[in-house]
Amino acid sequence: MVVSPAGTVARVRGLHAQNRAVNHAEAGQRCAVNLAGADLKRAEPARGDWLVAEAAHAPATWLDVRLQVLASEAKALGTRGNWQLHLGAAAVGARLPPLDADALAPGTTALARLVLDRPVAAVWGDRFILRDPAANRTVAGGWVVDPFGPVRGRARPARVAQLVALALPDVVQALVAALEVSPEGLDLSAFARARNLLPADLDSLMARIGLYTFSAQGSVWAVSDTRWLACRTRLLTLVDQWHTEQPDSLGPDEAALLAAWGADEAPPTRALLRAALASLVDDGALVRDGLRWRRHSHRVALSAEDEALLDQTLACLLPGGLRPPIVGELATALGRPLPELLPWLERLARQGLLVRVAPNRYYPPEAVAGLIADARALASERADGSCDAAAYRDRTGIGRNLTVQVLEFLDRVGVTRFDGVRHRLLS
């Protein structure tokens, strides 16, 4: 068990209800729990803490809520005031930026975000009151809609529509409605935690609703079947258009696909895009070559001279594995002047037949796939899904300087993201 929100691990040694030792207790009973744990002396449970299963431990530092202002208030609640939130047995300082109204007038009900002075444990439906500590009076009350809202974009119309859906009391209706207004996907793991659902409950819920799940940001996300089918269909259309308009190119990369998506439909997130592309590859509808996607039947049409030079270039690059020769060495091996070779290499990179990883180094697409595979393997060995330059250098054996260039390249193409210390693998 975990004492939340502190995160202290504890073991239950005994349980008393109504002054008697029992094996289980129910809501409404006066209970005492005998806890044991090495960290309890350092972080003793405090008033307002919860004793939860490890999977349910998810402290929240802000709460998206449905708030009702008392009609007896003389004026609207300001967004700059300091309030006191009473949630369960906890009392926490809070600020109140509204989500769907500039001010909360007396007697009105609106969505709002409570930004807290310290984390609390909360789930959907938890009721609370809001007090003015200076005047020592209650000013509003309400209930929690989403304790795991996004950091940014809290007042965007799409987010407000999502909160309206999440506020529905029926869990099935809430999930269906939230998926309909979430074209980028819905964090299903957060939804289950917010609704306090057991894994079996979530599995049963998913079986009743048409949705598709994918991984993103360390969680399970979901989109409606309609959105999933639309994404796949749109991707195939974009790849076909690319082949028609640019027959001398291998195919589009992720950035090109997102740029060509169009304004008539919301573009997918990177995670959703990659999940849809992976499913199309699994189904045999697309082929992945390095960082680009193409149809099985598509081949780049090169002149006989370019075809011969490409074969010679690959014969020089492939033996190098993850450390192919730099452009100067390549020019010497091919017997070509460097000023003449560079524009040709850049053209092949635009066509997708080569990948420019560093200013002076080009890779075959299959070698780029190896660079990505090593980054993923390293990230999978760490709980935080990251890799650093030293570990990547040791795994690949490509040297420190090239390792830095490769990791910067992986950041640019969206495989990883540098947080200032480590490169974290994206979906």
**Confidence at 166, pLDDT banded by 50, 70, 90:** very high
Q: How high is the pLDDT of residue 63?
A: 95
- How close are the terminal C-alpha atoms of the chain, in Å? 30
Q: Which residues pair with 358 in a beta bridge?
A: 361
How far CA 143 is from CA of 56, 99, 123, 129, 301, in Å, comes to: 19, 15, 10, 9, 63
Closest CA to 121 of 194, 30, 220: 194
Q: Dihedrals φ, ψ of 66, to 5°?
A: -100, 115
User: Could you tell me the sign of the dihedral formed by the alpha carbons of 158, 261, 278, 151, in that order?
Assistant: negative
Fold of 60-146: Elongation Factor Tu (Ef-tu); domain 3 (2.40.30)
Break the chain into its structural domains and give their ranges: 2-56, 60-146, 168-300, 304-363, 366-425
- Give residue-wise pLDDT tens across range 273-290: 999 999 999 999 999 888
pLDDT per position as a tens digit, 28-81:
888 899 988 888 877 778 888 998 988 888 899 999 999 999 999 888 887 777
Q: Would you say the CATH fold of 168-300 matches that of 60-146?
A: no
Tell me if 49 sits within 8 A of 3, measured CB to CB.
yes
Burial class from Cβ neighbours inside 10 Å (0-12, 13-18, 19+) for residue 212 reads buried
**φ, ψ for residue 390, nearest 5 deg:** -65, -45
The first and second tokens of residue 111, run together, are: 């969505």
Reply yes or no on domain 304-363 having CATH 3.40.50.10540.
no
Residue carrying structure tokens 């989500």: 99
Share of the chain above pLDDT 70, in %: 98
Cα separation of 182 and 207, whole Å?
A: 19
Q: Using 50, 70 and 90 to split pLDDT, how confident is the model at 101? A: low
Q: What is the CATH number of domain 168-300?
A: 1.10.10.10
Tokens standing for residue 199 = 């894994």
Mean pLDDT for 125-131 is 95
The model carries a pTM of 0.78
Residues in the chain: 427
Could you give the CA distance from residue 294 to residue 302 in angstroms, rounded to a whole number? 16
- What lies within 8 Å, CB to CB, of 5 at 6+ separation is 49, 50, 57, 59, 60, 118, 119, 120, 121
Per-residue pLDDT, 102: 65
**Cross-strand bridge partners of residue 34:** 14
Tokens of 113: 């975000």
What is d(CA 52, CA 9) in angstroms, rounded to the nearest whole number?
10
- Kindly report, residue by residue over 286-344, the tens digit of the pLDDT: 998 888 899 999 888 788 888 899 999 999 999 999 999 999 999 999 999 999 999 99
CA-closest candidate to residue 158, choices 176, 140, 184, 122? 184
The CATH number of the domain covering residues in 366-425: 1.10.10.10
On average, the pLDDT of the chain sits at 89
* Segment 370-427, tens digit of pLDDT: 999 999 899 888 877 888 899 999 999 999 999 999 999 999 888 888 888 888 887 6
